[in-house]
Structure formats: structure tokens, C-alpha cells
Amino acid sequence: MRIGVFICHCGTNISAAVDTEKVAKAAANFPHVCYADHYLYMCSEPGQELIVNSIGENELDRVVVASCSPRLHELTFQKTLERAGLNPFMLEMANIREQCSWVHSRQREKATAKAIELVRMAVAKVSYNFPLQRPTVSINKNALVIGGGITGMQSALDIADAGYSVVLLERDNTIGGKMSMLDKTFPTLDCSS
Amino acid sequence: MVAVAQHPNITLMTYCQVEKIEGFVGNFKVLIRQKAKYVDHQRCTGCGLCWESCPSHVPNEYDLGLSLRKSIYIRFPQAVPNKPVIDWEHCRHLNEGSCGICQEVCPTDAIDYHQEDEILEKEFGAIVLATGYDLYAGEAAPAEYLYGSHPNVLSGLQFERLLSATGPTGGEIICPSNGKEAQRIVFIQCTGSRDEAKGKSYCSRVCCMATAKQAHQVLEKNGGAEVYVFYIDIRAPGKAYEEFYRRSVQEGAVYLRGRVARIYPRGDSLLVYGEDTLLGRQVQVDADLVVLATAMVPAAGWEEMSLLTGVGTDKDGFFAEAHPKLRPVESFTSGLYLAGTCQGPKDIPDSVAQGSGAAAKVLALFSIDEMELDPITATVDEGTCSGCGSCLLVCSYGAITLEQIQEEERGTTAYSQVARVNEAVCQGCGSCTVSCRPGAMNLKGFTNEGMLAEVDALWL
């Protein structure tokens, strides 16, 4: 098992509160960690290159990225792993921004200690990860738009213009919604019919 | 509206409600209730004899109570489809068995009092939620603004109906109390918006511009009219918006920065007491009409729609997008998209943009024949599963079923019950794994072993 750990500064979003170099040094000593580094923006092109190259050079089979919430960049880094030839699910993210630097902005020492613990946990979890394959499903190409106001009508027209069948469902007995109740519409004063 | 009705790829289903949504991206099964119209729209020509003859009058929702309609009705003359329905709550025949005039006069025999609601099952690959907004009218306005108790205090949308050529007055701005033309009109901004104590904390985004437009229309129709607008600040952050607002000011609308404290009725007119914080003094305006810019709220029924679709809401009931900046028209459920004011207050240009945005997402999905799903789903170790079914009870997505399996052991056949997970329906929430007492349920990518290793790393 060969784990790589990558600590992101997120500009100063993380590095202002967390000593990223210290976190990287601590991570280098965690079980199975063969490589640990830190960089200004890990999600940027050079940041991702750093990960891809390190995977190749150090024969890494698992990766921990300590940066923002996985809601923001998990997909980004999963794709990075794929580019390096790893299964995307051999990635763990340690959220040291929303759950650390942003909430402990004036406690650098404690924030750094907490970031180290978060990375330690992610390293432990990634040790148990195994490759996953995405199942596939077929796509029925009919769309349902619920609501026949200006938004639903626009959506239905765009989908229909592309050649697909759309059901536009409206609970009232006419489409048009609130828009049809307006006399003229700003800023061009068009009619609403 | 007409473009929608005429499009060969669009099936219009009006007077319908969603009853149930099952399935997953690319494979949704939807039960739709077609409410009884009591009119056979295949036969109906929309000639109008029925609604002209109908003897019952009820308040017209389309004009927000400013006019009356019949029990058999179309919303407005340009409605799409342009064929009527019977409002069964007010129809004399459907309630008392009397009347029956519409059936008598219908030349095509289209009236069908025995029509019933129909439940239709349809399959779709993608769903766009565009359920819109309502105005937080009556409850939002402070009692001292007399909304609902004085006929000349109107909501912004009611005032739109007065301005409209299809409205109850044919576009004449008259006072509902006496039918006289309104000469002095006061607009009050942020009624119920930006007011945590008495309404909603958020800005409804459209009212500043809607009021500037209404002020312009008043002055265009009646150059001698007096228009006053009480505001907190003017928010006109769109293309050509600031210029539009300036134009209304130049045309003569008087903008007063301050709140209205109270409105007193005085005969047919209204005495509006407020303050002008720029001049630092109290003001008093004599008005014929008062128009309240009330907050935008999610359209009635948002709670049911949230339960039906599994799409969550924010504290005010607006549907929650997957990411406020990067995924504004996606929900957390793959294949289910959001657009327009059901996601948050917005004006027409922004609603249209989101409608197109959601359509682009649907088209991206439709551009492929097969889709890869998230592999983070629950899996069962059948050897450990006791078949107790507790996972079934906690699963919010209906992804788990109990099935009987057959095992051959030393020449005898044994039957046992085990849980099975439908990977396409499972959303990987993990509820089943924590409810499973024998530990047979595990979540790929978040295995019990992996989670415990994380905890151990912290404490051991």
C-alpha cells in the first residue's frame, strides 16, 4: 500500500490559519504514506499535475487531498486520479477549509493540530478503500416539465426544439403562470402573451 | 404560450397534478392525476356559449378577486388551451343536480358531468421542476396598511390586473371602491420582504423594478397622476434596469426613502403617514390607491412537491440547488432539475435563463444512451443478513426489498429471507448500514471498517 498526501493552501483560505508545511511533514510519517507535499492551489492545473506526476514517480495506489469540502472538488480530484491511471475511488478528501481553517481563523496552532488529525483520519480511511466500478443505466429520452409558467415553457421549448418529446404539466387549466397576469414586463415593456 | 401549444414535440397536460414519482435518473415512473374537466376537449370548440350562459358567479382568481367569473370558465380570453373546465366546487349541477344550462346550450355535446379524475402512468428520463411562486399577500402586510380591509389597498399583482388590457377594467386605473380614476397612487416597497419581524428576511428581487414599471405605466396613461414610492433602497442591478428606474423618476414618480407607519381611511381616499429619512421629517400623502410590493414565496403545494420529489428546501421553502454557484439548476437527485422562482426569487430574464439552463442539462443527459451511476451504494452480505427488515424501514428511497433465497445444505433445501439493494435506486445515504444489527449491510466507499479506522486513527 502506497499513499500520497497533498495539502492545499487554497491561496490563503487555508494557509492563513493552518501551517500547511507542518501538516505535510506530519502526514509523511503516517502509516503507508510514501509521499506528502503542499501547494498553493491543488485544484489548479499545476496542482493536479503535481498529483499526477507524484502518483507515477512514487507508484502511489491511494491518495489523500486535504483541501476544501468534497462537495466542491471531490469530482475534480477523482478525475485527476483517473488521469494518472488510478481508480477514482482510491481518493479521500480531508476538509481542512470549511471544517478547519475557516472556523479557527485566529487559532493557528490549534487549527494546524486539527488539520493534522483530519489528515490522519483520511489516511486511515483510504487504507480500506478498494476500487469501485460505476454501474450503467439506459436513458429514457422523454422529459417531464412540471409547471407551465414562463420558466417551464422556456425549458419545454428548448428541449422540444432539440428533437425530444416533452410533457409540460400544469395544475391550472391554462399555461402562462404568473407571467400571463402581468401587463407589460420590464425593462423592455413587452407584452406577456 | 402559443409556441408551446403548437410545438409537435410538446404534449400539454393542463389541469393535472403529480401523484407519485418513482425510479431514478433516465428511468422515472410518474403517476399523473388528470383532474376532471367535465368538458370533453376533443369535442369542445371553445365557442364560449357555455360560459356566457352559466348563471353562477364566483371571484376570479386570475384577477385576484377584482372581478367575477363563471363556474364553467377559461382563465382569460387568450388562455392556452382555449377550452373551458367546470369548477366543481361552484357548479350548481354538480353540487345540487339543478341547472344544467351549459349542457343544454353546448352545440357539440361536449359537457360531460360524469367525467372523473384519471390516473395516468408515464415514463420519463428527466424531470424539470418549475413550480413558481406565490405572493405573500394578506399575511405579510402589517394590519396598519389595511390590506384586505380597504378595497383601495392592493397587492402589486392585483395592480398589474388593473393595468392589463385583459384585466377587469380593460387597463383603466380605477379605484375598486368607487370606480373613479385614481389620481394619486402610493407604492410601498418591501412589504413582507427584508423584514424578519413581520415577514421574510430576503429581498424578493423583482419589486423595485416592477414598481418602477408600474409607476411608468401610471404616468404614461395619465400624465396628471401623482405617484409616490416609499422605499428602503433601490435595487436595480440588471441590464438596462438602473436606466429604467431613472426614467420613471424623470417622468415624475416621487421616490421617498422611508417606511410607511400607518394608513388611515378617509372616505374613499387613504391618508398615508410615513417618513422621509433623507429630509429627516414625517410626510403625509393623500392617496386614492395604495399598492404593496409583497414578498415572493414558493408556490402553494411546495411541501407536497418536496415530499414527492425528495428535493429539499431552504428555510423559506425554496427548492435547494445542488450548489449555489456551480450547480444552480440541479437538485441532489440525478435527473431532477430546478428552474425559475421555485428555487428562489427572480425576475423574468433570470427565470428564462434558468429554464434554458435546466433544458441544457436535460439535453446533456439525453445526448448519451447509457449513463454511469455513482457506485457508492449499499451492499448486503447475505451470509450475515438475518432478514429482519430493519434496513427496509429506514430506507427513504425504497431501494431495499426482502427476498427469499434457497440454500442446499447436506442434501436438504433451506429457505431464508435476505435483504436486496437496487443499486440504481440506492442513493448511498448509509441509513441502512447503521440500522443493521448483524452488520450485514455495508456501504461501498464508506465501509464499516473504513469508518472505524478513521475513528481509531483519532483516538488510539
In angstroms and rounded to an integer, the radius of gyration of the C-alpha atoms of chain B is 29
Size of interface A-B (CB pairs under 8 A): 302
Q: Chain B window 381-420: which residues touch A at a Cβ cutoff of 8 Å?
A: none
Cα atoms in the 13 Å half-sphere on the side-chain side of A72: 15
Provide the pLDDT for residue B137: 66
Alpha-carbon distance of B308 to B387, in angstroms, equals: 29
Helix H or strand E segment including B33: strand B27-34
For residue B212, give the chain A residue with the closest CA. Answer: A186
Q: State whether residue B290 sits within 8 Å of chain A by CB.
A: no
For B204, phi then psi, to 5°, come to -85, -5
Distance to chain A for B392, nearest Cα, Å: 22
Alpha-carbon distance of B329 to B332, in angstroms, equals: 10
Least CB–CB distance from A183: residue in B163, B301, B449 = B163
For residue A31, give the chain B residue with the closest CA. Answer: B457
The whole-chain average pLDDT of chain A stands at 96
What three-state secondary structure class fits B321?
Answer: coil
Provide the pLDDT for residue B386: 93
According to DSSP, the residues that pair with B230 across neighbouring strands are B188, B256
Q: Where are the domains of chain B?
A: 2-127, 133-297, 298-366, 378-459
Strands B226-231 and B254-257: parallel
User: What is the percent of chain A with per-residue pLDDT over 90, rounded to a whole number?
Assistant: 93
> What letter does residue A97 receive in the DSSP assignment?
I
Alpha-carbon distance of B164 to B382, in angstroms, equals: 67
Provide the pLDDT for residue A35: 97
Provide the pLDDT for residue B192: 86
For residue B17, give the chain A residue with the closest CA. Answer: A171
Provide the pLDDT for residue B333: 87
Residue spans of beta strands (DSSP E) within chain A: 3-8, 33-39, 62-67, 91-95, 136-138, 142-146, 165-170, 184-185, 190-191
Report the residue of B14, B15, B211 to disrupt the A interface, i.e. the one with the largest count of A CBs within 10 Å: B14
Cβ separation B15–A141 shorter than 8 A: no
- How is B237-283 classified by DSSP, letter by letter? -STTHHHHHHHHHHTTPEEEES-EEEEEEETTEEEEEEEETTTTEEE
Provide the pLDDT for residue B325: 92
Distance to chain A for B414, nearest Cα, Å: 32
Cβ separation B370–A182 shorter than 8 A: no
Checking if the pLDDT of A192 tops 80, the result is no
Using a 10 angstrom Cβ sphere, with 0-12 exposed, 13-18 middle and 19 or more buried, the burial of residue A89 is buried
For residue A142, give the chain B residue with the closest CA. Answer: B124
> What letter does residue B403 receive in the DSSP assignment?
E
Helix H or strand E segment including B287: strand B281-287
Provide the pLDDT for residue A101: 97
Residues of B in contact with A146 (CB under 8 A): 18, 127-131, 305
Cβ separation A138–B370 shorter than 8 A: yes
Alpha-carbon distance of A139 to A18, in angstroms, equals: 46
Strands A33-39 and B72-73: unpaired
Q: Global pTM?
A: 0.81
**Yes or no: domain B133-297 corresponds to CATH 3.50.50.60:** yes
According to DSSP, the residues that pair with B338 across neighbouring strands are B129
Condensed to tens digits (0 to 9), the pLDDT of residues A30-80 reads 999 999 999 999 999 999 999 999 999 999 999 999 999 998 999 999 999
**B374-407 b/e with 16+ CB inside 10 Å = b?**
ebbbbbbeeeebeebeebeeebebebbeeeeeee
Q: State whether residue B450 sits within 8 Å of chain A by CB.
A: yes
Provide the pLDDT for residue B268: 83
Give the ipTM. Answer: 0.90
Residue spans of beta strands (DSSP E) within B299-389: 336-338, 370-372, 378-380
CB atoms within 10 A of CB B348: 23
Angstrom CA distances, B443 to B147, B339, B458, stand at 55, 32, 21
CATH assignment, B378-459: 3.30.70.20
Cβ separation A169–B341 shorter than 8 A: no
Cβ separation A133–B375 shorter than 8 A: yes
Cβ separation B9–A165 shorter than 8 A: yes
Q: State whether residue B16 sits within 8 Å of chain A by CB.
A: yes
According to DSSP, the residues that pair with B119 across neighbouring strands are B33
Intervals of chain B under pLDDT 50: none
Condensed to tens digits (0 to 9), the pLDDT of residues A129-163 reads 999 999 899 999 999 999 999 999 999 999 999 99
- How is B116-170 classified by DSSP, letter by letter? --EEEEEEESEEEE---EEE--TTTS-GGG-TTTSTTEEEHHHHHHHHSTTSTTT
Q: State whether residue A106 sits within 8 Å of chain B by CB.
A: no
Residues of A in contact with B425 (CB under 8 A): none
Alpha-carbon distance of A34 to A3, in angstroms, equals: 6
Least CB–CB distance from B74: residue in A165, A174, A184 = A174
